[in-house]
């Protein structure tokens, strides 16, 4: 299974297509899941941090 992502970019081509394999998509999803979990942990450990308060739904 491949997923095609169209990205608007400045330049002569305007639209660039990139095909992602299922493995690339799995790796990207795993990375995002880890980042979000880390972000939530930091928000909970540092509740006085006003930067994150509006983005964490408890």
What does pLDDT average to in each consecutive run of 10 residues of the chain (58 residues)?
A: 59 68 88 88 75 62
Domain coverage including residue 44: 23-58
Is the distance from CB of 43 to CB of 53 less than 8 angstroms?
yes
Closest among 31, 41, 58 to 49, alpha carbons compared: 41
The Cα–Cα gap between 47 and 52 comes to 8
pTM score over 0.85: no
Is the distance from CB of 4 to CB of 21 less than 8 angstroms?
no
Residue 55 lies in a domain: yes
Total domains in the chain come to: 1
What's the start-to-end Cα distance of the chain, in Å? Answer: 35
Residue 3 lies in a domain: no
């Amino acid at each position: 299974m491949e997923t095609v992502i169209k990205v608007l970019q400045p330049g002569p081509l305007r639209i660039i297509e990139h095909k992602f394999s299922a493995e690339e998509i799995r790796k990207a999803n795993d990375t995002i899941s880890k980042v979000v979990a880390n972000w939530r942990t930091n928000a909970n450990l540092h509740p006085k941090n006003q930067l994150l308060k509006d983005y964490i739904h408890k």
